Structure formats: C-alpha cells, structure tokens
Amino acid sequence: MIVNAEKDIGVVDDNDRRGSTTIPLKQQHFVLVHGMSGGGWCWYKIRCLMENSGYKVILVGHSAGGMSVTQACHKFANKIRVAVYLAATMLKLGFWNDDDLKIGVPDFSKFGDVFELGFGLGHHNPPTSALVKKEFQREIFSHLSPHEDCTLAAMLLRPGPMVALTSAKFRDDGEVEKVPRVFIKTKHDKVVTPEQQEAMIKRWSPCTVYELDSDHSPFFSTPFLLFGLLVKLAASDVGCTR
C-alpha cells in the first residue's frame, strides 16, 4: 500500500528507543505487508533502497499478506492512495468457496510432504500452524535468489497460522473499490503460481499489472527492479475507471 500522511508522524526505531524520526507533512509512506511465515526482514534490501532515496518504510510485507492489504482497503479506503499486490492473494471478499481456495491458496502437492505442522489445540484437532521444511524452502520460495538471502530466510522463517490463511472474509460495502490497485506478477513463482495470479487478476481486475522475472521472493531476486516499480508508482497518478 501507499498511504498519504495527513500530519507529521513520529516513527521510533526499535534499535534506538531514545528518540523518533519526524516524517515531513504529506510525505508518502510505503506500507509493505509480509506473507505467511515471513517478517519485516524480508524487505531489508527494499527498505535500504527506499530510505537511501528519502522514503520512509513504516511497516513491511507480501504473498498471503495480500489479504491484510484487502482488509485495510475495506476499512480505510480514504487513507490509501494505491494498494500494491506483489505476488499476493488478491480476493475482493476473501475466502468464501472452493474456487477462492483454488486460486488463493498455494498448492505444494507436487513437492511431496513439505510442511512441518503445529497442533496448538492438540493432535485430535486440525493443525494450527505450518512451516515449509528447510530442505524445500529454497526450491519453493527463492530458487532464483542469492544463496546468502536464502540462508537468511532459513534462519528467520517461522510457522504461520493456518486459520489466518483461509478464514479471511469481507463484506462488499463498496469501499474497497475506491482504492486503485496494482498487481505485480512474479513470472517464476512456485507459491502463488502464474496461473493463480492470472485467475485473480481476471476475477478482480486491477488498474495496472506489471511483471517481474523473479521467483516468489523478488525482494531478494530482483530488488532493484522491484524498488524501481514502487518508486514509479509513488511518483505516478495511479487510477482507473471502474
């Protein structure tokens, strides 16, 4: 998402609790939402590029995080200038039927038994969390990314909540259509496949579609191209006729 600041905002760095950084009036903020098992660390390359260029990243993210972006668009449409879906789940109303699950949830069956499951409510109940096993992580998430980034990811990936992945549902109140949307496709994605991306784009057409020659982790595999697209979006007047 790109949001417009209505006033100066103080942002406190967790590594330096002594003070805050004041963001100038009307400066645009990138709010990047990470996906399941990920974290703000996913975006460290993009954050560095943005901050060196004068942008301030106040929150970070992608992938299943698309549902959080959609939820924000439903609730705060007047605060969001543009919503950007980076190989992300883009379903207008969330998960209501089998078709939604088919195009919005990754299918890793061709890789075999890839998950380490957590049973927070006991083994007699469905699993509550999942994490892709380390031996599959590079092949699935970042097969075109530098090895050092894959090593970082393997150290930091954490189990993601199962319920959060498929239980998101939204009411069609019309607010969400007020927010221009951009979808950035990832050509060699093995998580949200190109076929799934196309299906979501066809069902709920965004204003603009871009494509990166990347895996599911373009913040690792094509950071400069991704940064260029985000800066371009921030500088342009994104809009479309509904």
CATH of the domain at 219: 3.40.50.1820
> Is 216 an active-site residue?
yes
* Domain count across the chain: 1
Instruction: Give the helix/strand (H/E) hosting 37.
Output: none
- Residue 41 pLDDT grade (very low, low, confident, very high; cuts 50, 70, 90): confident
Residue 241 lies in a domain: no
Of the two residues 217 and 21, the one the predictor is more confident about is: 217
Residue 5 covered by a domain:
no
The answer to whether residue 170 sits within a structural domain is: yes
Q: Which of 34, 62, 63, 100 is catalytic?
A: 63
Tens of pLDDT, residues 154-202: 999 999 988 877 788 999 989 999 988 999 999 999 999 999 999 999 9
Dihedral pair phi/psi, residue 161, rounded to 5°: -70, 130
| Strand-pair category, 28-31 with 56-59 | parallel
Evaluate whether residue 150 is within a structural domain. Answer: no
Residue 242 lies in a domain: no
The answer as to whether 137 is a domain residue is: no
Does residue 173 fall inside a structural domain? yes
Which of 29, 34, 62, 216 is flagged as catalytic?
216
Q: H-type helices in 76-161, by residue range?
A: 98-104, 134-141, 147-156
Q: Does 127 reside within a domain?
A: no
Q: Which of 145, 189, 214, 217 is catalytic?
A: 189
Residue 216: domain span? 31-106+165-235
Confidence of residue 15 (pLDDT cuts 50, 70, 90): very low
161 near 128, Cβ under 8 Å?
Answer: yes
Catalytic residue flag (residue 63): yes
Per-range mean pLDDT, top range of 2-6, 51-55, 228-232 = 228-232
